[in-house]
Amino acid sequence: MSQAELDTTQLLKGALDLAVLAVLAEGDSYGYDVVRRLRDNGLDHVGDASVYGTLRRLYQEGALNSYVVPSEEGPHRKYYGLNVRGKKTFEQSTRTWASFSKSLNQLLNGRNGHER
Amino acid sequence: MSASDPADDIATFAARVRAELADLPSPEKETLLEDLEQHLAEITAEGAGSLEEQLGPPEQYARELRAAYTSGQPPVDPVSPSLARSLQEAARLTASNWYREIRAFLPSLRPAWWVLRGYLVVLILAAFVDLGGGSDLGPLPSPFSKHGIAQILATGFAIWLSVRLGRRRGPLPQLGRVLVVSANVFVVLVAMFVLGNMRTLSGVSFDSTASQQPPFAAAFAGGPVTNIYPYSQDGKPLTNVLLYDQDGQPLTVQRGEANTNYPLGADGKVITNAYPLTQRHANGDPVVPPRVALPPWPSTSPSASPSPSPSPSVSPTR
């Protein structure tokens, strides 16, 4: 594992909750679909176990509701969605992330000129 | 891993993940893993290849799962903010340099504590044995007192035991640890009480009828004051003169070799400051009032008559 990958992993660790909440804020989803949508958005390093573990934890913390949707051709799917608490957590985390990334961008721009 | 039967694949993979996470506390483990099979079935249905090809070895999957599930997020029932703040404070305190220095220093005091513990245990025992007794109990056993020798020997033995207990090898079982810690706390608390009451204990043993007031301890050239003989201005001896100090506390004098008979008040309490005190020598003879040389007053006597009028007089010599 290269240094760059390690860094992405580290960054993901702190931000995965927010990423998962963001996916679910777009619409209810099941585990494998959440992973796919994260990867589609460029988070290639995200592991299935990390996403599944995060979903289960957020569910246990009371931020998500879940329901099983029967499927004709494949297995039943367990969908997760944001409940009121989850939406609140998502809004707060979004603000925190915005101010954090703003600060970090300012810091980086100050040193390396304008590049984003 | 063979991709022959997806159901087998899922069951095997899930079993290996569960085995890896067997140490998680039960309710957490169940919440985390209750629909693992369902999730793996989704992957099998939508992905390509066996689970191990898609997800890597189950052991690594389990590690990642554990990390994601137990990462530093607030628990289900977040602790109250004030408790969280105190915990943070405590954490900062225990992380500080001086705390670590003290923690590193304390173990070197252990032998001193073992010795002190042995001493304190015997001190407590001596205090309880002595409660009704009345030998003079001090913080250090006197080799000349009644139980002093026994107390010294017992202290030596207790210190030896205490040090042996302290130097034992290997940790005690849980129950033993709890017992030893409770016993230590008990010894310290009771010893503090015993040491704090040492003066009172010896006071009680000295004379049970002793007054609670500290004696009027003026020591003159001739020795301590053991009695007071008041006279009126015209030279008549007065009896039962009640004396009080500037705080309104009854004045008492040093106990001499003579025994004092204090009168009892109507309320049953001993009156300790009615002078002169009625005293008898150890051999039973009454103490005779001293001869006094009364000063000659100037011809103009003070306007206010200082002569007190003693109320119901008790027989002067009893």
Q: How many interface pairs between A and B have CB atoms less than 8 angstroms apart?
A: 80
> A66 in helix, strand or coil?
strand
A6: pLDDT confidence band, cut at 50, 70 and 90? low
Structure confidence at residue B205 (pLDDT): 45
Question: Looking at beta carbons, which residues of chain A come within 8 Å of B69?
Answer: 53-54, 56-57
Cβ(B155)–Cβ(B118) under 8 Å?
yes
Among the listed residues B121, B213, B195, the one whose alpha carbon sits nearest the alpha carbon of residue B158: B121
Are B73 and A13 an interchain contact pair (Cβ–Cβ within 8 Å)? no
Are A75 and B46 an interchain contact pair (Cβ–Cβ within 8 Å)? no
Question: Looking at beta carbons, which residues of chain A come within 8 Å of B47?
Answer: 32
Q: What pLDDT digit, counting tens, does each position of B7-56 carry? A: 888 899 999 999 888 888 888 888 888 888 888 988 888 888 888 888 88
Structure confidence at residue A52 (pLDDT): 92
CB-based contacts of B285, cutoff 8 Å, min separation 6 = none
CA end-to-end span of chain B, whole Å?
A: 114
Structure confidence at residue A35 (pLDDT): 92
Are A53 and B68 an interchain contact pair (Cβ–Cβ within 8 Å)? yes
Q: Which of B43, B66, B76 sits opposite A48 (nearest CB)?
A: B43
Are A54 and B64 an interchain contact pair (Cβ–Cβ within 8 Å)? no
Q: What pLDDT digit, counting tens, does each position of B107-149 carry? A: 888 889 999 999 998 888 888 776 655 555 667 777 776 677 8
Cβ(A55)–Cβ(A80) under 8 Å?
yes
Structure confidence at residue B280 (pLDDT): 84
Structure confidence at residue B28 (pLDDT): 80
Mean pLDDT over the full length of chain B: 77
Using the predicted structure, report yes or no on whether residue A112 has a pLDDT greater than 60: no
Mean per-residue pLDDT, A77-84: 92
Using the predicted structure, report yes or no on whether residue A114 has a pLDDT greater than 60: no
Q: What pLDDT digit, counting tens, does each position of B274-313 carry? A: 888 888 887 878 888 888 888 888 876 555 555 555 555 4
Question: Looking at beta carbons, which residues of chain A come within 8 Å of B60?
Answer: 49
Using the predicted structure, report yes or no on whether residue B206 has a pLDDT greater than 70: no
Structure confidence at residue B76 (pLDDT): 40
Dist. CA B127–CA B130, nearest whole Å: 5
Among the listed residues A86, A49, A33, the one whose alpha carbon sits nearest the alpha carbon of residue A64: A86
Q: How far is B23 from chain A (nearest CA, A)?
A: 16
- Record the pTM: 0.42
A111: pLDDT confidence band, cut at 50, 70 and 90? low
Mean per-residue pLDDT, A37-56: 89
A19: pLDDT confidence band, cut at 50, 70 and 90? very high
Higher-confidence position of B99 and B77: B99
